[in-house]
Amino acid sequence: MFDLILRRATLPDGRSGIDIGIKDGRIAAVEANLAGEAAAEIDATGRLVSPPFVDAHFHMDSTLSYGLPRVNQSGTLLEGIALWGELKPQLVQDAIVERALAYCDWAVGRGLLAIRSHVDICDPRLLATEALLDVKKRVAPYLDLQLVAFPQDGVLRSAGAKELLIRALDMGVDVVGGIPHFERTMADGAASVRLLCEIAAERGLLVDMHCDESDDPLSRHVETLAYETQRLGLHGRVTGSHLTSMHSMDNYYVSKLIPLMAEARLGVIANPLINIVLQGRHDTYPKRRGMTRVPELMAAGLTVAFGHDCVMDPWYPLGSGEMLEVAHMGLHVGQMTGQDGIKAAFDAVTVNPANLLHLDGYGLEPGCNADLVVLQAGNPVEAIRTRAARLFVLRRGRIVSRCEPVQAKLGLPGRPETVDFLLNRG
């Protein structure tokens, strides 16, 4: 006896007519024509059933703070950092919690059930850290929130930042972060990478650094990150986020750099919406796109994910927690418009970030957590194209969000546009 069976699902790998049996919060069976009864059933009618969306790079301490204390008029990264510096002394813990919880509600409704959020630790009060640790506990039944100790003002540049970072880790923050390109010199940037990787190695933690978020082709801290990963044996545990300088680097240098990154098994996170807004601001024409070399990194075997980065904060005035929008922008900027490229973009907001976050029990195999999304689409390509509605969102086998199907004719001719809703079996 199953608790729930999803009937006639199409999976991201193309298998169709698949039934998914759920028992005790986990996937118990994945097969066609699954025998057995269940307390309830959902008939997906051939629609796409996917593991949940995962955002590998976000800033929840600043989300929904747009306009506080004022709007970023230049639209640049540096004005955003300056604005955040003005806002930090005015932050109130309850307000951070309230905004973060509101965003988590948006996320769950969109099938986004795991988020890695950087939290700025360059505040002696560690107010944002305390706030997001509280949020993490509150949302745990619905969403996995992984926190990164992020020295926004530079771990060496900002007085006391190293000690604050250690305190944040002692409080329960999960991942070591950094921002080497914001240190005062290239040498200090390299030293910060070494220091932070050593802290992570000593504590057995993951690393995720804002790295080379610049148009400067000589910002090459990712090379140091790959070296320190090798030196300390952190293979598969270190991620470089943004890496936008790679967009401007000399091709010969990149031909050396990417194999070094692959040897270290670095993870890579691009943030398409924000990268193309913040980068290239000093260009006239032609303007650089500013996103890292996603197709080339994927081709080299690196795990590449897309992150949302910001929603309505000092750096970005838009956003809604919609990871299909992130994938849509990413495949456009990366010119990944072949069928394989579009499917890779879907992976970049599902399985790839789940791997980078080291999520336990993620996937569609028996034994995985029954965290699932039923989308109003027939496959990942259609899901991205139509920003498919999330008809059902399941967390540990329990429906946490549902919506009516969109009636607009978004599918292919002859494809049904509705699903049968939950059938109670007693």
Q: What residues are labeled active site?
A: 213
d(CA 243, CA 291): 8
Reduced to 3 states, what is the DSSP secondary structure of residue 175?
A: strand
How far CA 117 is from CA of 18, 129, 175, 234, 309, in Å, comes to: 34, 11, 10, 21, 8
Backbone angles phi, psi at 270, to 5 degrees: -100, 150
Handedness of CA 258, 262, 265, 267 (dihedral sign): positive
Six token digits for residue 172: 């329960």
Cα–Cα distance between 48 and 226 in angstroms, integer?
Answer: 37
Q: Which helix (H) or strand (E) holds 105?
A: helix 93-109
Residue 140's alpha-carbon distances to 106, 144, 379, 403, in angstroms, are 15, 6, 29, 22
Q: What is the dihedral of CA 157, 163, 168, 169, to 10 degrees?
A: 110
Q: Which of 284-306 are b and which e, b meaning 16 or more Cβ less than 10 Å from the residue's Cβ?
A: eeeeebbbbbbebbbeeebbbbb
Is the alpha carbon torsion for 394, 395, 398, 400 positive or negative? negative
Q: By C-alpha distance, which of 64, 58, 27, 8 is closest to 353?
A: 58
9/39 Cα distance (integer angstroms)? 18
Here the tokens at position 268 are 């890579």
Tokens of 215: 């148009």
CA distance 353 to 380: 16
CA distances from 377 to 32, 74, 267 (A): 19, 39, 29
Distance CA 319, CA 157 (A): 31
